[in-house]
Structure 1
Amino acid sequence: MIGFLGALLVAVAAAGPAAAPADAPVTWSVAPADATGPDGRRVIDVVLEPGGSVVEHVAVTNHSTAPVTFSITANDGYLTERGTFDMLPSGTPPVDGGAWLGVPDEAAVGAGETVVVPVEIEVPATAEPGDHPAGIAASILSTGSEVAVESRVGVRVNLTVAGEAVAGLDGRVVDVSYEPSWNPFAPGDLVVRYEVVNSGTVGLAAAGSAGASTLLGDVEPVSDGEPRELLPGGRVERELRVTGVWPLGPVDARVDVEPVLRDGAEVAAPSTVHLTATAWALPLAPILLALLLVLLVLVVRNRLRRMLADARAEGAASAHAHNPVPPRSPMERTR
C-alpha cells in the first residue's frame, strides 16, 4: 500500500468512518492520481503561492470482495517517534496544511474497483512560506462492544508555500554518562543522548556523530546512521555510544549534527550544529580492585600475626610442661 497506514481506537458512539462489512476482511489502498486514475507518484508534492489553489486527486482502490463505503479525511501531517509519516487522528481538527485540503466525506467503492477522489487545495493569503505537511486518508470503522477500531490508509501531501522560507537546526545534549567495562583493565563507553529541533520553516534531515576527548587524546567518533527527517517544528532524540574511552577523569563529548536539505530546496543550508558536554570517567573498577587487594593483604597479615602469636604461646606452654622448675628448699629460701 502506498502512503501511510494505521489503526486508532475511538469511541463507538463517536461519528466516524463507515463500518466495515462484518462477514469479510477489507483491504484497500490509496495512491496519488490524476483525474483518470493512479499516476505512479508515491506522494503528492504541491508548491503554491500564498492565496493559490489547485485540484489534486487520490485513487481509492477496494481490493475486497464486497463493496465498501470509505470515510475520506484530511489532516495535518507529522512524523512518529520511529520517523514514519502519519496524520493527526480524525477527531483532531487540523490547524495547518490539513485545514487547506478539501475532500468529500465518503467514497463508495465497489468490489475490486477504484474511485478517484478530488482534493481541493486552497492556501490562505496569509500562509507562512515554507512546508506545511498534510495527509489524506480513506478509513473504515470496525465496531466492538465498547470501542471501535478505525483503520486507515493514506497518502502524504508535501505542501509548500512559496516565498522566503528559512532552514534552521538547533540542538542540545540531553545527557552524557560513562559506563565502565566489566573488565577493570579495559576501556568503557561514553553514552551521549542529544536532541535536535527543526527551527526553520522547511523540512530537512539531520545526521549526527559523536566523539570524545580524554587525557590520552581524541577517541574516534561514531555516527548515528542515516539522516533522520525533521518537519518544521519537529524534534528527535538520539543516543550514541562512543567506545574505547579510558576512565581517566573528565571526558569531553563532542556531537556534530549535519543538516541535509531536500533536493531542489531553494533555501540556504543551516550551519552544522556543534554540541559539547563533559562527563567524569572515574576508574572505579581498578580502585575497588586495589582496595580489595589491600583489604585482603591486611586480613592475611593479621591472621598470620595471630597464628604466629598462638604458635609462640603454644611452644612456651609446651616447654614449661616438659621442664618444670624444682621447688626451692626451706634452707635455700632463708639464705
Structure 2
Amino acid sequence: MRIPTKVAAILALAILVPAAWPAPAFAAPVPAAADDGRVTWSVVPADAAGPDGRRVVDLELAPGARATEHVAVSNHSAEEVTFALSANDGYLTERGSFDMRPSAVEPVDGGAWIAVPDEVVVGPGETEVVSVEVAAPADALPGDHPAGVAASVRSGGEMQVESRVGVRVNLRVPGDVVAALDADLLGVSFLHGPSLFEPGSLVVRYAVVNDGTVALNTTALVGADSALGGPHASAPRGEALEVLPGGRREISVEVPGVWPLGPFGVEAVVGATVAEGAAGGDVPAPADVVLTDTAWALPLLHALVLLALVLVGWAVRRALRARRSRLDRLIERARAEGRAEVLASRG
C-alpha cells in the first residue's frame, strides 16, 4: 500500500557496520550508503493506513494467540530501494540502547514469534506499510519477550556491510510473572579533589542482574561514611535504568564530598520497579539489594605535599646551617689572622 511521505515520523538513518557484527538497529541517526548511492530510510510503527505516532510496538498475547501489527518503511532517497526485512530477539547494549540480534543469528525468544516478508520495494520518497504477523507459542512463558523488526540494505564487495533501521517490539504474555533483582558490587575507588583544599569522590561500580521474567527499572542510593567521623557523603538517586529479563548492566556512581580520611563504609541500596507496560500489571516490585564494602580514601596527595614541604624545610635548614658554618669559619680565620698580625708587630 502506497501512502504520502509527509508523515509525522522521526527519521532514523542507518548505521554502517560489518555484517558479521551486531548492527545497532535502534541507534542515533547517521547517514548510510548503499552500492549505487546514498540511501536513507526510516522504520516506524504503523496501522494499515500508515505511521500511527507510536515509538514502539506494545503487544500482549496469551499463549497460542495471534495478532497482526504493521510497520511503515519510508524511503527518503532519490531512487527505488529494495529493503530486506527481518525480525529477531531484542536486548540492551552496554550503553542501555535497545538493539536486536544480527540477522545471521537465529532467534530463540520473541523474535521467533514474528513473521515478516523477506523484502519490500519502496519507491523514491515513498512509504510502504508492511504487515507483521505475531504468533505466541502455546507454551509461551508469562513475562516480557523483547524483539525487533528491521529493514536493511547490503553493500560492499567481498566484505558485505549490512545497514539497518528497526522498530522495538515489546511482546508480553500475561500470567504468573516473576520480578527478581540481584546485584553485585564490582569495586570502589577514590578520586582526589581538584585541589588539596577540596574533597574528592568515591566511584562505586556495581552490576544489576534481572533474574525475573519482566523488565525492570533500577535505581540505586549510594552513600559513604568515614570510620574517623568525617561527614556523610551520598550520591543523588539517578535516572532509572532499564534491565530486560535475563539482562545484566554495569553501572558507575560517583559519590562527591569525600575527604581522604582513611577507611570508609560504603553502602549501595539497589532497588527496582516493574517497567511501565511490562507483563504482570500489578506484580510487586522485587526487594531491594543492599551492597556494602569498606574502601580506603588515603590523603596521598596531602602526604606528598607534606613530604615535599618537609624536604624543602630540611634543605633550607641545611643550607642555612652550612652558610652559618662557613660564616663562623671566616670569622675565626679573620680573628686568627688578626692575632697573628698583633704578635708579629710586637716582635
TM range (shorter): 0.7 to 0.9
- Of the candidates 191, 210, 226, which is equivalent to residue 239 of structure 2? 226
- Counterpart residue number, 1:333: none
Q: Deviations over 1:174-211 (max 9, x none)?
A: 11111223533332211212221212111121122322
TM-score of the superposed pair, with normalisation by structure 2: 0.82
Q: What is the aligned partner in structure 2 of residue 301 from structure 1?
A: 317
Q: Is the 8 A contact 1:2 1:155 kept in 2?
A: no
Summarize the Cα distance change of 1:281–1:141 in structure 2 as closer, same or farther, 3 Å threshold: same
Moved more, 184-193 or 164-173: 184-193
Quick check: 2:14–2:41 contact (8 Å CA) kept in 1?
A: no
Cα distance change, pair 26–2 in 1 and its aligned pair in 2 (3 A): closer
Match of 2:112 among 90, 99, 113: 99
CA–CA distance in structure 2, aligned partners of residues 300 and 111 of structure 1: 82
Change (3 A) 1:139 1:182: closer
**Identity of matched residues, %:** 52
Aligned in 2, Cα 1:140/1:249: closer, same or farther, shift over 3 Å? Answer: same
1:94 Cα shift? 0.9
In structure 2, distance between residues paired with 1:244 and 1:21: 52
Structure 2: which 5+ runs fail to align? 1-9, 21-32
Aligned pair count reads 318
Q: 2:224 matched to 1:212?
A: yes
Once structures 1 and 2 are overlaid, which stretch shifts more, 287-296 or 276-285?
Answer: 287-296
Does the alignment pair 1:262 with 2:275?
yes
What TM-score, normalized to structure 1?
0.85
8 Å Cα contact 1:206/1:227 also seen in 2: yes
Distance 2:179 2:81 in 1: 43
Conserved 8 A contact 2:225-2:233: no
Q: Given that residues 185 and 207 in structure 2 are in contact (C-alpha distance below 8 angstroms), is that contact kept between their aligned partners in structure 1?
A: yes
Other-structure match for 1:8 = 17
Shift of 1:106: 1.2
Q: Which residue of 2 is the match for residue 174 of structure 1? A: 186
Q: Which stretch of the first structure deviates more once superposed, 21-30 or 180-189?
A: 21-30
The CA distance in 2 between the partners of 1:41 and 1:295, in whole Å, is 69
Within the candidate set 298, 303, 327, 1:311 is matched to 327
Residues 312, 134 of structure 1: CA spacing in aligned structure 2 closer, same or farther, 3 A cutoff? same
Alignment of 1:107-126 (within 5 A): 107-126=120-139
User: Residues 72 and 248 of structure 1: is their aligned pair in 2 closer, same or farther, counting only changes over 3 Å?
Assistant: same
> Residue 211 of structure 1 contacts residue 218 of structure 1 at CA under 8 Å; is this kept in 2?
no
- Once the two structures are TM-superposed, the CA of residue 164 in structure 1 deviates from its matched residue by 1.0
Larger-gyration structure (1/2): 1
Following superposition, the deviation at residue 5 of structure 1 comes to 5.1
Contact 1:165–1:202 (CA under 8 A) maintained in structure 2 = yes
**What secondary structure is seen at the aligned counterpart in 2 of 1:147?**
coil
Q: Deviations over 1:43-65 (max 9, x none)?
A: 21111122222222222233333
State the match for 1:69 in structure 2.
82
Question: Residue 39 of structure 2 aligns to a residue in which SS?
Answer: coil
Cα RMSD for the two superposed structures: 2.5
Could you tell me whether the CA contact under 8 Å between 1:223 and 1:240 is conserved in 2?
no
**How many Å apart are 1:32 and its aligned residue?**
2.1
